[in-house]
Amino acid sequence: MTDTMMWTPTHFPAAMRSLNPSTRAKAIEIANHLLEQGAMDKQRIVAHSVSEARQWARMGQSSAMNSGWQPRV
């Protein structure tokens, strides 16, 4: 894990405020995973995680997707 502060359900980027709680939780999960990898800057991580979480929500939060987020390749 990096020394970067991880996001939580009570401490998250403003860009995630408009997401419903389950979608926000998924966005936080994705963002924290990307933070640990250290492959992107925070702004890109937030934008990417919000996009991925919205896609997850659109797919109906199916049991396959619910078992864990996997990055799109």
Answer yes or no: is 33 within a domain.
Answer: yes
Q: What per-residue confidence (pLDDT) applies to 60? A: 80
Distance CA 58, CA 13 (A): 21
Confirm whether 27 is domain-assigned: yes
Tokens of 4: 């970067």
What's this model's pTM, rounded to 2 decimal places?
A: 0.78
Distance, CA of 20 to CA of 33 (rounded, Å): 20
Domain of residue 55: give its range.
Answer: 18-60
Looking at the 3D structure of the chain, how many domains does it have?
Answer: 1
Higher pLDDT: 62 or 22? It is 22
Classify residue 10: in a domain, yes or no: no
Q: What number is the average pLDDT over the span 23-45?
A: 94
